Each structure stands twice: as structure tokens, then as C-alpha cells.
Amino acid sequence: MDDHDLIREILTGDQQAIQKLHERYVDRIFHYIYTQTNSYHDTEEMLQDVFFKVARKLDQFEGKASFKTWIFKIARNVVIDYYRKQNKERHSIAVEKDYLEDIAGEDESAETTVLRNFHIDEVLQLIDRLPSHYRTVLHLRFIEEFSIQETSDIMGKSILSVKSMQRRARLTLFEQMNLEVSSQ
Amino acid sequence: MNNHRYEDEEFQYIMRQKKTMKASTKAREKSLLTFQDGLKDVIPKQKKKQNRQKLRQRFFVTVGSVAAAGIASLIFINYDFVQDGGLLDSGEDEHDGEETFNEMVEDENEKKEDIILEDVEENEALVERILDRPIIDVNVLNTMPMHQIQNETFSIYLPDEWSIEEEEEDYVYSTHMTGPDSERMEFFLFDRDVNQEQIADEIEETLTKVTSTEETTVSPNIYNDEFVMNNQIRTTFDTMFPFDNEMTEMYAFIDEESGRFTELYISELFGQSMIYMMDVPLEDKESWALSWTFFSQMFVTETPYTIQGTESEDHPQFDRPLEKSVILNEGAASFRETDIELYEIDEFGITSYIPVNVEEERIEHEHFIEFRFTDEDFSRNSFYSFGKLKEGFPLENGREIMFHAFNIDQAHHEDLGGGDGYGYGYYDGSGDYDIEGYIQLFEVSDNWYYTHHHSEREDNNGIIYNKWSYMFKELIEWE
């Protein structure tokens, strides 16, 4: 039974369908939120918030996009609201833009070479240190395997901006790896 | 291409090594309960809606394939008939029947496709077309009346014969501006605690008023570059748009059929989420410049204006933010964001704010105590100060005492006058550099204080130091 079938069943009051849909997404949404907050406690709170919002709006879900895109978009909004209320982070994508633009034209195969020379744990640590919007785009694209179009829907950004963000995320990571190498 | 794919796979492999964080059993249970709880009201509502849809289908069978315009009236007749006949759910209130009718009419009107912003892409030819706007003529601008909007928070220029209506709702304050030839601008500013869905709802609502045969995204930088290249006019902030371009989405729509040109800006203005829409006649190119005039000439009506969301935690004793950012005007029509920090003068029993990074110094003079603030990076020979006059200060000799204390050469100085009561403006060109300044004495609760700015002209900072001094006085809280 796909997501749309489950939603139809839920709206007729089928309790099992509610549990199935919840089970299908609870860990993915949890992991997605955690990626951006790095706080287990906050993630738990936001997880409830996401599912409450999904529930309240489920009858308005039109099925134009996939349910997966829709729920991730809601999760993204919950995270933004959380940051806004907590004033924990001012969102900005002005990350050494000029430098990144400068190196954007470099041969990407160099990236692969550097990736190979690093231990995976080290790379993952560096990913955790990236700004949250970079982590978000990498998570959505490479873990959830959303397309560029779906990622742009979820993040509320244009396709071009998602492409550029993804490239910058990778370049920033690449740059940090180079810094690690040169400091060793 | 293959190389890219290989790199993507490599990257994907690494990302997937990330330990997946799973919700605890307790967190899953809570989340499920919340989900179920949230659905409690939604499911009955949906069931009711489904019942109504079944009823509607019955109506449509009745009317068959009559033309759209006629359908509504036929349905209406049938609707009356059915309701009188008691076929509607007995539990429905009287408005439900009306909603059903409206929904039917809406169904007939919803033939035009909705605009989905996520689907809008850059259309270079259209961008080129909409960049071609008349320049903002300063002479025309000077004739435009100034209006205060958003509960008088901002001041803008609008051509003659425009009307403004404002509306305050729970989380958004909206300004609706209407011109004499069907031009329209709408400006929404949201409270800080608004959630993204409320903003999305307002965007959706705004989009219902937009029709389009061609659309494009627009980079604010392109607008800015075009504006700077073709317009000689100054902007009130450093850039054409007073918001952060990186956080902005801009769209333009042209509807050749209805002859409309529409722009939509979604951004954050001084810490508040913002939606702006301009809708003007396509053929009236003069009106295309309205949005650029609106933002490039907009200013904050009263300064210092605190940018929402920039306040740090409060000082535990004074309940005032330790730091925040404000907008200050520098001169009549130039505005800039300044980071300021809380400053306490314990012996005066006051707190106020000074720009971060200024140096402070306490100086005891014969007749008054001075707190002097300097920013040597900005100007080595300038300062501003706040102070308290000592008991018995001879006010009638205020000018002489203050000028003497600050080495203003009374033989050479030019009295600039101005101010009220005990205000002394001066210009002094007798030394190594030209100085202008102003000293104002004032009384609060039987004590006398003063503000003073002393600015080197070469640094062109008379205005800045004047504003910093003014800000200090404006933001004083007395214990």
C-alpha cells in the first residue's frame, strides 16, 4: 500500500493505517531533524510537532507532490520555526562565497581523490561541522535521495539555488579537508 | 558526466555511513500519540466533506452538461430545493449548505492552473524584458507625497492619488496600496513568532490574485545592478533593497491576456518575514518602477529602530538586551545598521547603549563629570560624550564653561547656534583640523545632564557622532 493509499485509509478513520504511515517516516524524520539540530531532546520535541502538523493538514494534502516531499517540507518548516523561536542561529548562506566561487571551476575529480585519502569517520565529522543548510541539502540529496526538484520544494529554494548549495556544500567540505591536510 | 555520477556515488556512500539516529521507543510513542491526537478532528471533518462531495456529485448528475455559467444558477436552484427537501445532513449548520454552493462555483472557476512558485524557473528573455524600466527621476520623486506605513514604522513615497489601507491580524501586519489606474502593491510583515506555514498560507493567498502567461525567477542582484547602472538617485540604505539579497526570492509574472505585470518578493526585512507584491498594467511601463522606488527610497520613520531578532539575552539586573542591532539614520536620508551594546553608568543610575567597539573614558571636570566615547578606527580626533553637571553648575555661564572644558577656542569659534535653551553649536577651524560640534544641557528629575558630539570634519563624521550621541540619550533608562 503506497503513501497515498494509506492517507485515504487514515482519513476514513483506519487506525492501522495511521500507525503504518507513522512507522514509515518516524525514523527518517527524526534523523533528518537530528542532522540539523544535533540535539536529541530538541529533536524529540520537533518530531512530535511535525506529526501533529501533518495530522492537522492531512486532509489538505492534495497529492500534487509525493507525501515524502510534503512531510519533509513540514519538518523543514518546523526546524526553521524552532531556530526562529530559540534565536539559536541566524540563517545565512554567505559562506565565503567569493572563495568558493573562485574554486568552483576546479576539476571535481580532485574532490574524489581527497575523499579517498580520508577516513570516513573524519569526513563525517567534517560534514557535521558544515552549516546546517549545507547539511540539509546533502542529507536530502544523498541520504533521502530526493531529486533536485524535490529538494528545492522541501527547502523552499529555486532549483538553481539548490544546485548551487549542493555544489558549495561539497566545495566547503573539500576545502575543509584540504585545510586538515595542510595542518597535519 | 560519468565522472560526476561516480563522484555522486562516492559521496552518497560516505553520507550513508553516517550513523542513523533513531527515535527512542518513548519518543516514537509520543510522536504516534500526537499524530493520532492531531487526526481526531481532521477525520470527522474529512468524512463530512466526503459526504458533501457525494451530494454534489448527485447535483451534477441533475444538471448534466449545461454551460458553466448556467450551472451555478441551476445548482443554486437545486440546492434550495434539496435543502428544503431535507436531504442535507441534519447535523450540518446553516452555513454548511452555503459552503457547498461556494465550493461548486469555485470548482467551475478553478479551470486556470494555480501558480506553483517551486515550478517557476529563470526565463532569461523575460528577465531582460522586465529590466527595461524607466529610471527614477529625482524631480518626479520630489513631487511624490511621503506616506507612513506599517503603523507608521516605515516611510515611503507614492505617486499622487494613491490610497493606503492597513490591516492588523494575529501574526501579520499588511499594507494595501492602490493607485488610480488599477496599480496595486501589497506589503506584509510578519511577527517574529510566525510559523512557516502561516507565511506559506499568505503567499498562497497572494498568489490567488496573480495570473500569468509567462513567469520567471529574478535575482535581486540583477535588479540591483540594473538600478545602480541606470539610476543616479541615491538609495536610503547601502543597497537598493534594504533586505538581505541572499535570503530573498523574487518572481515576475506577465499575463498578456489580462495585460498585467506582477512582481512578488519574499524576504526578511529587518528581522521580520516579508511578502511584497506589485501588480500593474503591463502597458504602463512607468508604473513598473514602483517596486524599485518603494524599496530604494523606503526608510525607517523613527530611529534608533531595533532590528527584530537581534537582541541577545537580557542583562540579569536591568532586563535589557546586552547587545542588539539598530537602524540609525545618518543625515536626512541615509540609513545604516549598527551593532550596539548595553552600557551602564552606575554613578548616574542609568543604562543606555553605545556602538560595539567604542572606547569609553571617565573624565572628571571641575563642573561636570564626562563619559567620553571614541572610535579611533573611525576618527582619531572625534568623540561624543554624556555627562552630569555637578551641584551648583552656573547654567548662565554654561557655554563658557563647556567651551573652556573642551578647548573650543572662543576667539576663533563660529557659533552655529541652534538648539533650545542650553544648546551650543560650534565650528572651530583654529587648530590642526576643523571641528564641528554641539552641546546640549538638559534637566531630568532636578539633575542636569548634557550630551555632546565633537567631530572632525575631514572624517565626515559629524553626522555619525551626532546620531550616536542622540541614540545614547534616546535609549537611556533611569533606575
Helix, strand or coil, per DSSP, at residue A177: helix
Closest by Cβ to B246, choosing from A44, A74, A92: A92
Say which amino acid occupies B388.
K
Percentage of residues in chain A having pLDDT higher than 70: 75
Q: What is the ipTM of this complex?
A: 0.71
B235-272 pLDDT, tens digit per residue, is 889 888 998 887 889 999 999 999 999 999 999 999 99
Taking the C-alpha atoms of residue B176 and residue B191, their distance in angstroms, rounded to an integer, is 18
pTM, 2 dp: 0.57
Return the C-alpha cell found at A63.
497529492
Overall average pLDDT of the A32-51 stretch: 87
Which residue has better confidence, B82 or B176?
B176
Helix, strand or coil, per DSSP, at residue B125: helix
Say which amino acid occupies A60.
Q
Taking the C-alpha atoms of residue B171 and residue B173, their distance in angstroms, rounded to an integer, is 7
Integer CA distances (angstroms), B382 to B335, B359, B361, in order: 21, 12, 13
Q: Are residues B455 and B466 in contact, defined by beta-carbon separation less than 8 angstroms? A: yes
Q: E-assigned strands of B270-358?
A: 272-281, 299-300, 305-306, 323-329, 335-345, 350-355
Interface check B204 vs A, CB under 8 A? no
CATH of domain B305-478: 3.40.1000
Overall average pLDDT of the B91-109 stretch: 38
Helix, strand or coil, per DSSP, at residue B461: coil
Torsion of CA B95, B101, B103, B109, to 10 degrees: -140
Task: State which fold the A97-183 domain adopts.
Answer: Arc Repressor Mutant, subunit A (1.10.10)
Check B38 against A143: CB less than 8 A apart: no
B332 CA to centre of own chain: 20
Residue B184, pLDDT score: 95
Mean of the per-residue pLDDT values of chain A: 75
- Spatial CB neighbours of B124, under 8 Å, sequence gap ≥ 6: B216
A82-132 pLDDT, tens digit per residue, is 776 665 443 332 223 333 333 333 344 455 555 555 666 777 778 888 887
Task: State which fold the A3-86 domain adopts.
Answer: Rna Polymerase Sigma Factor; Chain: A (1.10.1740)
Residue A108, pLDDT score: 41
Which of A49, A54, A84 would you mutate first to test chain B, the one with the most B CBs within 10 A? A84
Residue B104, pLDDT score: 37
Q: What residue in B sits closest to A127 (Cα-Cα)? A: B15
Which residue has better confidence, B207 or B2?
B207
Tell me, yes or no, if the two domains B117-300 and B305-478 fold the same way.
yes
Band of residue B19 on the pLDDT scale cut at 50, 70, 90: low
Cell numbers 511624490 correspond to B144
Cell numbers 533593497 correspond to B241
Band of residue B128 on the pLDDT scale cut at 50, 70, 90: very high
Check B35 against A54: CB less than 8 A apart: yes
Residue B369, pLDDT score: 96
Query: Which strands, in side-by-side order, build the sheet including B423-428?
Result: B359-364, B368-374, B383-389, B447-456, B435-444, B423-428, B414-415
Domain boundaries, chain A: 3-86, 97-183
B439-463 pLDDT, tens digit per residue, is 999 999 999 999 999 988 777 666 7
Residues 115-144 of A with CB under 8 A from B: 115-116, 120, 123-124, 127, 138-139, 142-143
Residue B152, pLDDT score: 93
Residue B275 phi, psi (nearest 5): -125, 135
Give the helix/strand (H/E) hosting B259: none
Q: What residue in B sits closest to A75 (Cα-Cα)? A: B196
Q: Counting every residue, how long is chain A?
A: 184
Helix, strand or coil, per DSSP, at residue B441: strand
Residues 240-269 of B with CB under 8 A from A: 244, 246-247, 249
Domain boundaries, chain B: 55-62+72-111, 117-300, 305-478
CATH of domain B117-300: 3.40.1000
Task: Give strand pairing partners of B344.
Answer: B351
Residue B407 confidence (pLDDT) above 50: yes
Mean of the per-residue pLDDT values of chain B: 80
Band of residue B213 on the pLDDT scale cut at 50, 70, 90: very high
Which residue has better confidence, A36 or B326?
B326
Q: How many CB atoms lie within 10 A of CB B360?
A: 14
Taking the C-alpha atoms of residue B236 and residue B101, their distance in angstroms, rounded to an integer, is 50
Which residue has better confidence, A29 or A167?
A29
Residue B214, pLDDT score: 95
